[in-house]
Structure formats: C-alpha cells, structure tokens
C-alpha cells in the first residue's frame, strides 16, 4: 500500500482543502514571527521557507508524513551501507566519499574509508603534477588543456562544479567537457588545441557507455594524428572508472586509472574520482574544502530532527506542491552566474532518481512522483520565462539561491543582482492587487493585465559567498532532498532502468542505418519513414 493510505496523507488532504485558498499576504499579516520561525540555518547556509503556502500545522502534518514513511530509519539505512538499491543489489554510500579519514564505514565487513582516501590522495598527486607542469606530455611540454570525456553523472557534476568554482581555478589550465556523441561537441572542444599539451580524462563508471567510448576513440585518433606514436597515449589519457578490464581493453594503463566503486551512483559521484577534472582545475585543497561542505550537510541530514532538517523540509514542501497542489514542475533559480549549470545538474539528479511510476513493491504508484526540474541563472531567466512564473496558469514552486558577496565585486552589480533576487520572491509571494493598481490610477482596461495574484511559493537559500564548502553543502542538500522524497514516494531512487530501452533500440537502429539492406525489422511505420528520409538526405550529402 502506498503513502496515500497513511493517516498523515489523509490528514494532509483534509488540511489542504482548508488552506488551499489561504494567501501568503494574510499569513504574514497574521503572524509577525513567521519569517523568523520558518527559517533555519546550518553552518552558514540559510533557508527561509516562510514564503510557502503552509501554516505551522501543515509543517507538523508533513513531518508526520515523513515519520510514517519511516524516513529516519531509511536515512540510517543509507548511511550505514544497507543495500538499499535493491534492483541493482547495491549499497548507496556516496556519503562515504566525503567522510573524514578518521571515520569507519563498513560495507560487507570492510571499512571503505581508507579506500576512499587512497583514491583522493592519488587524485591529489596527479592533479598537483598537472597543475605544476611536472606531468609532461609526450613531447615534454606541460599540459595546458584537460578534456573530460563522459556523459550524465560522469559529466554533469564535474562540469557544473568547474563552472561553479571557476573563481578558484588555475587560470592557465583550460578544462573542458565533451559529452555528446554529436561529433560537433568534440570538434569544437579541440579546435585549435595542440595534442601534445592536451590530456583526456575518459570518465565512465561502467566504461561501456557508447557516447563516451565513441568520443574517447575519436580523441585517440585525433591525438595520434598529431603525435603518431602509440606510446603517447600513456601521457595523454587517464581513466576514471569502476571497470579496470574495459579500461585496459581501451588501451589505458590501469596505473593511469582512478577507481571508484559500484556503491557510488553515477549522478552522486562528483566526490569520487569522477571529480578528477574539478580537482585538476581547483586543486586538492579546495576540492577537500568542498568535501567538507558535503560532509557538513550529510551530518545535518543524519542528525537534525525532521522539523529542523533542511533537506527534509525542502523534500516535504516539494511533496506538498507536487501531490496536493498538483504542481508538475520545480524551478531552481540560482542568482550567481557561476551556478548556471546547477539546475541542469539536478535535472539528472532528481529526474533520473525519482522519475518512476513503479514503487518498491513492483506495483504502480497511486500518486505523482518526481517533478520536472528546470531553471537557469538569474537575472537572465527574468527576461525569459518569469512572465509565466508571475502570471501563468501553472503553479511553479521555485528555489532562489543567492550570496551576499560576489567573486567579482564591480561597482553596484552585486547589489543590483541581489535587489532582483529579493524582489522576485517578494513579487511572487505578495503580488500586486487590482485595488492597488486602481489607487495608482491605472487605466481600468489594463488592470487585469497588470494584476499579480501573488501566492506563488518559493524557498530562499542564502550563504555568504559561493565557496567550495558552500557548493558542497548545496549539492548535498539537494541530494538528500531527492532521497527523502524517494523514501516517501516509496520508489527506488538509485536505479535508472528508464534509460535502457532507448539505448538498446538505438543499437538496433544503428545496425540498420549502417547496413546496405533496408530491413525495417522491429521498426514502426513512422520511424521507418523517418529513417528512410535520413538515408536519402544522408546520401545526398
Ligand atoms: O543515462 C544513464 C547513465 O547510466 C547515468 O545514470 C550515468 O550517469 C550515465 O549513464 C553515464 O554512465 P557511465 O558513467 O557508466 O558512462
């Protein structure tokens, strides 16, 4: 039986009927303490969730829901290495990747922490060698370009974090990311680069992902075209993977491989060797500071009571809108240009984790699960899609993320950025009434168009500055939010079977596209027609 049969769910349903029409305007007037009470802070990361359509009773009932879903014991199970990823028979221990050296986390009777730190140390040595120029390419030149070849979790995390922490990067290193099997991605990344100054990090948990291996083979040919000698590979290719055999088959020496473990999910792998490109860019000290931020949030999630637990509260508010207000999407809106890839990162993090209609017992869920996650950095979004956020027919709960200090303080740019940041959540929550417009003398015909209903919910997250530590806190916050929601919806958040069908059909279709015979076996009429058109136009080129 699903969560919808729980007592808390039924109480929430009844409560929703009572408060659905409540206005944030009124809630703030009635309760001068609201902003203060519906806020919390953990190690410098501040969450104000007072601009949500909740009362204290709503929060109590939502916490009761988490209790009924046995969230506390689920958290305990994850942290202690239970094999909670049942459909793949694996533990889920990304939290061990950021555990201090002194901790002990056992999996099948073996402490994994020393392995984690051994890999971190190896990464640190390698990063330092690249950064200092001590690692020389085949012709004796230092490395100037580092290109990570990976996709999904083996790309989005390090590329998002490299951008987020660009202010901490070594500027004479050009770190890039190639993910798409579209050759234009690779071609543009290597445009104008010298192979003897370029290092490829082939990053793939399985080392069987077609896009990554195709790009890696193309990179190999590109490199050998310039350097000719096969022995150059050892100086210009390293691998990040759990699969030593496939790494060797590709032709990369296991000495140049940085391992991780099957208990690290791809989209939760940034703190593992998947973060190698990031460590090369920002150095081991900043990377470890980031791990510190992750760990701080892990501890908060593990220890804080549910009603004062940041990831849990954000998870519950998400469920409130998703399941009771029928919101279909959730926007992440960072007001920091360095976080421009953060929404896309958590598109995978959230949608691959909780985009599931089958629950843990193998039956169809009776309630909505993961939302569509989207967003982009402010203020750009304001001039694109905020019209719909303010006056559209859809309810879009949103998280606003901002910082008190800029990495590039210039004139009054930052005050302007933050003025917009504050103004937007204020406008969304409180709107502008037709009465106010009439009082201002606005033409009666225009009043409906210029009215803002308000009552549009947001969370606001703030920290002093976007540092490595804060980035770690933020990422772990969303990771745990996603986990908590998955527990309540009772879905397996750590598998991703939904990506398999498309992959296997692509293999069959590729065979057909590359064969001279048109068989159209297992191909429907529409797809056959599209493929025929492709063959015809391809030939014309
Ligand atoms: O898209 C499916 C997926 O398995 C993701 O979960 C993963 O992050 C990505 O492919 C890449 O996988 P790998 O690291 O094994 O190449």
| Active-site annotation holds for 465 | no
The predicted model scores a pTM of 0.98
Q: Is 241 in the pocket of ligand 1 (CB under 6 A)?
A: no
Give the closest residue (by CA) to ligand 1 atom 16.
204
Show the tokens assigned to 371. 């939302």
Query: How far apart, in whole angstroms, are the C-alpha atoms of residue 224 and residue 201?
Result: 16
What secondary structure does DSSP assign to 369-415, as a single string?
-SPEEE---TTGGGGTTHHHHHHSSS---EEEEEESS-SS--TTHHH
Mutate to test the pocket of ligand 1, among 148, 154, 181 (most ligand atoms within 8 A of CB): 154
State the pLDDT at residue 14: 98
Show the tokens assigned to 379. 């203020």
In Å, how far are 267, 349, 441 from 73, measured between CA atoms? Answer: 23, 22, 59
Is the distance from CB of 49 to CB of 313 less than 8 angstroms? yes
Three-state SS sequence of 444-497: CCCHHHHCECCCCCEEEEEECCCCHHHHHHHHHHHHHHHHHHHHHHCCCCCCCH
Torsion angle of C-alpha atoms 189, 190, 193, 199, degrees rounded to 10: 90
| Active-site annotation holds for 236 | no
Question: Which residue is associated with the tokens 């790494």?
Answer: 247
Helices (H) and strands (E) in the chain, counts: 22, 13
**Residue 399: CB partners within 8 Å, gap ≥ 6?**
314, 330, 331, 332, 333, 458, 459, 460, 461
Secondary structure of residue 261 in the 3-state scheme: coil
Nearest to 512 by CA among 491, 487, 496, 531: 531
Is the distance from CB of 118 to CB of 291 less than 8 angstroms? no
Q: Which residues of the chain have pLDDT under 70?
A: none
Residue 259: which H helix or E strand, with range? strand 257-259
Q: How far is the CA of 151 from the centre of ligand 1 (A)?
A: 6
| Active-site annotation holds for 383 | yes
Name the active-site residue from 86, 416, 449, 503: 503
Q: Is 201 in the pocket of ligand 1 (CB under 6 A)?
A: no
Name the active-site residue from 341, 352, 414, 479: 352
Mutate to test the pocket of ligand 1, among 92, 201, 205 (most ligand atoms within 8 A of CB): 205
Residue 200: which H helix or E strand, with range? strand 198-203
State the pLDDT at residue 228: 97
State the pLDDT at residue 17: 98
State the pLDDT at residue 459: 99
The burial of 409, by beta-carbon neighbours within 10 Å (0-12 exposed, 13-18 middle, 19 or more buried), is given as exposed
State the pLDDT at residue 520: 85
């Amino acid at each position: 039986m699903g969560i919808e049969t729980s007592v808390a769910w039924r109480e929430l349903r009844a409560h929703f009927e009572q408060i659905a029409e409540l206005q944030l305007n009124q809630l703030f007037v009635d309760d001068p303490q609201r902003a203060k009470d519906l806020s919390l802070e953990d190690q410098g990361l501040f969450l104000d969730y007072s601009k949500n359509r909740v009362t204290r009773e709503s929060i109590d009932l939502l916490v009761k829901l988490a209790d009924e879903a046995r969230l506390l014991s689920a958290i305990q199970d994850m942290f202690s290495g239970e094999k909670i990823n049942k459909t793949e028979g694996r533990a889920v221990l990304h939290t061990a990747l950021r555990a201090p050296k002194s901790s002990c986390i056992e999996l099948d009777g073996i402490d994994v922490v020393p392995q984690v730190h051994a890999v971190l140390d190896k990464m640190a040595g390698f990063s330092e060698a690249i950064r200092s120029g001590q690692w020389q390419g085949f012709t004796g030149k230092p490395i100037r370009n580092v290109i990570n070849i990976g996709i999904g979790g083996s790309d989005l995390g390090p590329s998002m974090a490299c951008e987020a922490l660009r202010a901490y990067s070594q500027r004479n290193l050009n770190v890039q990311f190639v993910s798409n099997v579209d050759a234009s991605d690779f071609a543009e990344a290597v445009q104008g680069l010298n192979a003897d100054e370029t290092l490829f990090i082939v990053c793939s948990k399985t080392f069987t992902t077609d896009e990554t291996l195709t790009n890696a083979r193309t990179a190999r040919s590109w490199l050998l075209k310039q350097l000719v000698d096969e022995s150059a590979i050892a100086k210009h290719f390293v691998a990040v993977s759990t699969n030593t055999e496939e790494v060797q088959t590709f032709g990369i020496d296991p000495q140049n491989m940085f391992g991780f473990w099957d208990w690290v999910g791809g989209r939760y792998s940034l703190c593992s060797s998947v973060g190698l490109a990031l460590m090369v860019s920002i150095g081991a000290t900043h990377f470890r500071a980031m791990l510190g931020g992750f760990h701080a949030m892990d501890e908060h999630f593990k220890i804080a009571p549910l009603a004062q637990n940041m990831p849990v509260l954000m998870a519950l508010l998400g469920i409130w809108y998703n399941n009771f207000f029928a919101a279909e999407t959730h926007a992440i809106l960072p007001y920091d240009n360095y976080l421009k890839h953060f929404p896309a990162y958590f598109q995978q993090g959230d949608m691959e984790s909780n985009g599931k209609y089958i629950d843990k017992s193998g039956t169809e869920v009776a309630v909505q699960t993961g939302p569509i996650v989207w967003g982009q950095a402010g203020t750009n979004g304001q001039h694109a899609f905020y019209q719909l956020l303010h006056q559209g027919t859809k309810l879009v709960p949103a998280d606003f993320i901002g910082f008190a200090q800029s990495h590039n303080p210039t004139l009054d740019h930052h005050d302007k950025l933050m003025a917009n940041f504050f103004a937007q959540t204020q406008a969304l929550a409180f709107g502008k009434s037709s009465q106010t417009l009439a009082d201002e003398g606005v033409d009666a015909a225009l009043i409906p168009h210029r009215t803002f209903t308000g009552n549009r919910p947001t969370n606001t997250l703030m920290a002093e500055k976007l540092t490595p530590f804060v980035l770690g806190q933020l990422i772990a916050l969303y990771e745990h939010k996603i986990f908590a929601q998955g527990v309540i919806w009772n879905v397996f958040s750590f598998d991703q079977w939904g990506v398999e069908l498309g992959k296997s059909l692509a293999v069959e279709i590729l065979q057909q596209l590359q064969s001279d015979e048109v068989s159209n076996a297992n191909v429907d009429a529409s797809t056959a027609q599209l493929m025929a058109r492709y063959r015809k136009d391809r030939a014309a080129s």
